[in-house]
């Protein structure tokens, strides 16, 4: 039996294939048959395990996958079942190194450029390859991060379309606030992108892929879908923000992850005894405690100390004391039936539970993305048909 198999690990993230499929098909139905679906599976599928998530999405009909960089693309390729891969991080002169860039071109990855140096690097690489470099140009319409300004993007369109070794496959942008209640800035970005597209299509008439929408935009703004959308967080069943809570489609999303561990020690502490580093918890009564072998090294945030809860023995147990690197302490005093070896639900797949992804994010004033993306490599990911 392998050391890292679920049977040998006390802490396991169980990933529901049925929930992944349901969320994907929700986008397919919501966006319509003319819109391609390109799920974001970067950052190890937002912490859920790309080797589990990608095959399920491929079988469900994903048209393309998107990842952060070429190294992620190489990892994904082994489990993508032939689905095309888009790399978000723009190619730059010298990045990635020439050998890796050559491999990316020859593998047929769709590669992003956002300046002339990246375009020229692809020309040089493609000139030494039998394959054409498949290019997407990213336009900065207001995100102020990766991407080039619209006028410079038009120059890139002209350049790419003039090069035999390059093949323009897509134009795209990214919204800065599509998940916020006020839609004004998103609509302004959309206006800017449409204006750019009008000019770009005068240079190149047939551009296969036009895409802009993340989860929130795809769900909220039909006009942002063009012919492909890039859902990320919502593929995994989580709400990008409370601003989307009233949308019917959001209510149908199913969280795909349940994080389980076990009580590895249960014992009684006398009244007045303290727990954990800094002695931030002191027992006001005789207290039964349980130790869960998960800590901030595994992505269970230290900020949950004395604030979060976990589910065990048919009830909820407060986290007491400071979360350590490898261990967290629970107060089991009101759960007398709890005993060593019991399963502990660290993160619940039930959205309205106090230890759901959304609840834990809200508890420490962060976003659901961070809760799942932080889950560490010591945690085994296990595919299950459903919860």
Catalytically active residues are 42, 277
Q: What is the CA radius of gyration of the chain?
A: 24
Question: What count of other Cβ atoms lies within 10 Å of the Cβ of residue 267?
Answer: 11
Q: What angle do CA 370, 172, 222 make, to 5 degrees?
A: 80
Enumerate residues 6+ apart whose C-beta is below 8 A from 29. none
**Dist. CA 361–CA 374, nearest whole Å:** 12
Query: Which among 44, 28, 47, 26 has a CA at the least distance from the CA of 36?
Result: 28
Across the chain, where does the E strand assignment appear?
12-16, 36-37, 64-67, 84-91, 110-113, 133-138, 166-172, 209-211, 228-229, 257-262, 265-269, 274-275, 281-282, 287-292, 309-312, 315-320, 328-331, 343-347, 380-384
Phi then psi for residue 9, to 5 deg, are -110, 130
Label residues 80-109 b or e (16+ Cβ within 10 Å = b): beebbbbbbbbbeeeebeeeebbbbbeeeb
Whether the CB-CB separation of 125 and 166 falls below 8 Å is answered with no
Is the link from the previous residue into 284 a cis peptide, with omega within 30 of 0? no
What is the pairing mode between strands 265-269 and 328-331?
unpaired
Q: Which two tokens stand for residue 386?
A: 């459903």
Token pair of 243 as six digits: 């601003």
Give φ, ψ of 364 to 5 degrees.
-115, 20
Answer yes or no: are the C-beta atoms of 105 and 136 closer than 8 Å: no
């Amino acid at each position: 039996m392998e050391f890292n198999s679920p049977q040998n690990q006390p802490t396991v993230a169980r990933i529901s294939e049925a929930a992944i499929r349901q969320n994907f098909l929700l986008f397919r139905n919501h966006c319509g048959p003319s819109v391609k679906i390109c799920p974001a599976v970067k950052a190890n599928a937002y912490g859920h395990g790309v080797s589990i998530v990608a095959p399920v999405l491929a079988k469900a009909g994903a048209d393309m996958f998107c990842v952060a960089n070429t190294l992620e693309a190489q990892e994904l390729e082994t489990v993508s079942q032939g689905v095309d891969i888009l790399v978000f991080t723009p190619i730059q002169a010298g990045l990635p190194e020439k050998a890796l860039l050559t491999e990316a071109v020859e593998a047929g990855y769709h590669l992003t450029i956002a300046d002339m140096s990246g375009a020229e690097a692809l020309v040089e690489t493609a000139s030494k390859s039998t394959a054409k470099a498949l290019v997407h140009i990213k336009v900065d319409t207001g995100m102020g991060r990766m991407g080039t300004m619209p006028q410079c993007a038009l120059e890139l369109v002209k350049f790419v379309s003039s090069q035999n070794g390059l093949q323009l496959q897509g134009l795209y942008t990214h919204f800065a606030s599509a998940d916020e209640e006020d839609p004004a800035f998103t609509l302004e970005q959309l206006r800017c992108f449409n204006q750019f597209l009008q000019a770009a299509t005068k240079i190149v008439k047939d551009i296969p892929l036009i895409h802009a929408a993340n989860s929130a935009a795809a769900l909220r703004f039909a006009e942002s879908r063009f012919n492909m959308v890039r859902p990320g967080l919502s593929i995994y069943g989580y709400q990008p923000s409370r601003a989307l809570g009233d949308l019917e489609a959001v209510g149908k999303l199913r969280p795909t992850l349940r994080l389980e561990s076990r009580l590895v020690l249960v014992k009684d502490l006398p009244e007045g005894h303290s727990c954990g580093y800094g002695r931030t918890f002191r027992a006001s009564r005789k207290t039964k405690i349980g130790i869960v072998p998960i800590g901030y090294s595994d992505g269970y945030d230290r900020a949950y100390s004395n604030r979060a809860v976990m589910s065990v023995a048919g009830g909820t147990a407060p986290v007491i004391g400071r979360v350590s690197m490898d261990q967290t302490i629970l107060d089991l005093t009101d759960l007398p039936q709890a005993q060593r070896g019991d399963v502990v639900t660290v993160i619940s797949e039930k959205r309205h539970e106090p230890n759901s992804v959304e609840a834990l994010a809200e508890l420490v004033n962060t976003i659901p993305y961070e809760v799942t993306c932080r889950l560490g490599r010591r945690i085994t990911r296990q595919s299950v048909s459903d919860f």
